[in-house]
Amino acid sequence: MNLKNFYYPLILVFIIFFIWSFAPQKNENLDFSKQVKITLRQVGNQLLLTNKDSLSLILPIKQIENSKYRISFENKLLFEPTNLVRIMKNNIEKVSLSKNYRVEVLQCLDNEVAYSYEINADEEKTIIPCAGRNLPIKCYVIEIQFLDKPESKFNYSLLFYMFIPLILGILYGRFYKSDKNKVVKENKNEKHTILGSFIFYPEQNKLMQKTKEIALSKKECELLEIFVANENQIVKREDLTKQVWEDNGVIVGRSLDTYISKLRKKLQEDTSIKLTNIHGVGYKLEVKR
């Protein structure tokens, strides 16, 4: 296995997890919206109570823009700006929704702004005009625009889980490299032949592909030795049969085809190596370099 091919996907996964962990989450935005609507309903209720109205309805709180919400009422009401500022401030601070927001009181009839103010974390930028003047009894809607986005809460436990695959990858890489070096060291003094991505050890009846060991039978090994010695050349069937079987005093007609098939399967992982059947003649070990 190529270490580069292992680490590139691992690094990509790590980057995706890192960005995802710091990005504002959909659930957080949904929770913020729900909390705003509950808070504004409480604001509307308290405003009606200042009008000594405990019966008329507060209409559903609507989110009209990304960070902008609207409170609507069933009936007309008398508006006292000081009460609005106090009630809005107390309820927003109670649940820590925002320190920067703008409030507008709009007339239902023409959507004109009857009253507005702005609260800012920097008190010098806070603007609350005409707080003592009452607004006449009319149909009003109240819109509040949050001027700062809710902070995304970073889950530090995610950081731990992000580093797990990275650490495992590093450890795997070190052991993989160590095992590979160990195999090379153990086999460096033994007779071997490089065959594509394989290393052929005829004395041990085996093929090595990186750290993977592929066992060969005695006949498979003898056949492969002949093919390696005649790489990219046609070897006749009778020559193979004579060298591998006749020397042992036994000739089996179908044995050659059986062992060739087994050998072909063991070499198939390397596409640069092909054990080709030359019809009516014999076989050829084709190796692309």
Mean pLDDT of the chain: 81
**Tokens 């008329």 map to which residue?**
56
For residue range 227-242, what is the model confidence (pLDDT) as tens digits? 999 999 999 988 888 8
Kindly report whether the global pTM for this prediction surpasses the value 0.85. no
Please report the domains of the chain, with CATH numbers, ordered by start residue: 24-146 (no CATH), 190-287 (1.10.10.10)
For residue range 205-259, what is the model confidence (pLDDT) as tens digits? 999 998 899 999 999 999 999 999 999 999 998 888 888 877 555 555 567 888 9
For residue range 27-75, what is the model confidence (pLDDT) as tens digits? 667 788 899 999 999 999 999 999 899 899 999 999 998 899 999 999 9
- In three-state form (DSSP H/G/I as H, E/B as E, the rest C), the secondary structure along the chain is CCHHHHHHHHHHHHHHHHHHHHCCCHHHHHHHHHHHHHHHHHHHHHHHHHCCCCCCCECCCEEEECCEEEEEECCCEEECHHHHHHHHHHHHHHCCCCCCEEEEEEECCCCCEEEEEEECCCHHHCECCCCCCCEEEECEEEEEEECCCCCCCCCHHHHHHHHHHHHHHHHHHHHHHHHHHHHHHHHCCCCCEEECCEEEEHHHCEEEECCEEEECCHHHHHHHHHHHHCCCCEEEHHHHHHHHCHHHCCCCCCHHHHHHHHHHHHHCCCCCEEEEEECCCEEEEEECC
- Other C-beta atoms within 10 Å of 210: how many? 14
